Amino acid sequence: MNACIRAVVRIGCKQGFQVFGIVGGYQGILDEAYVSLDARSVANIIHRGGTILTTGRSEEFKTKAGLEEAAENLEKKGINALIAVGGDGTMKGLYELGKRWKDGLLIGVPGTIDNDVFGTDHSIGFDTAVNNALVAIDKIRDTAEAFSRVFLIEVMGRHSGAIAAHVGIASGAAAIIIPETPTDLDEIAQIIIDERRKGKMSSIIIVAEGDEAGDATAIASKLTDKVDEGCRVSVLGYIQRGGNPTHCDRILATRLGAHAIDCILEGKTGIMVGESGRDLVEIPFEDTWKKKKHLEKWMLERITDLSS
């Protein structure tokens, strides 16, 4: 997100805007936690993970009173436009705020490692999360091969299997378990058994945390009984979120941040900016949560063939 903040500030300043950052997400509007930003204040942040403005959830902002107070605070500060980076929950927040803040322009930028926001091919953070997971999986594979182990590696994705699917295919996993497809543990157990018969003594299985069959620990317990050998578990957790952002994420965040300023200059509001087929797109807020983003068709069709 820092690359996006940097682009918004620098492009905004060049266009003559006075730019403020809001510390702590939507709660920061209620707390009036503003910080003035200029070109120098966003120097040397493009390579840093996370966000210099910090973020967080705000239950107060979700209430009618909270939304009205937020609109009043923005008016009082003399702010004319608000750019927010996040997932569909962030877009819902902007949509609801827009009902109270009639004169302000609202632009959303997709930022979630789950990559589950409708209308954009990729969201900020997804590519970095996938690459972080790949680095960890490649290291775990060394142990799996050295000790002839079956490893179930759990990645983030409570409602979306995007990380698991990309990581599983890119790492050459024996099986990929995601919420978008039914999970047949007997079939996965047979894959492990067949690999043993072929002389492959280690297996990597990628599990999205939100699969209907359970998390990696629960699935490992069931598979242990089926293959008659212990299945190890590694939960990558928040390691996927941190670290230096990849080239792809830095470019995407910069491009979308700059386009958000362009939209403000054109008087646009109520939209999320995104990227589709390398083209910049603008998606109405409501579409970002009312329409479901699906995994790429080729990926769903080939997951089984490639993994087994």
Report the distance separating Cα 11 and Cα 162, nearest Å.
32
Report the distance separating Cα 198 and Cα 207, nearest Å.
24
* Residues belonging to the active site: 114
- Residue 107 near residue 263, CB atoms below 8 Å: yes
Report the distance separating Cα 117 and Cα 229, nearest Å.
39
Report the distance separating Cα 86 and Cα 237, nearest Å.
19
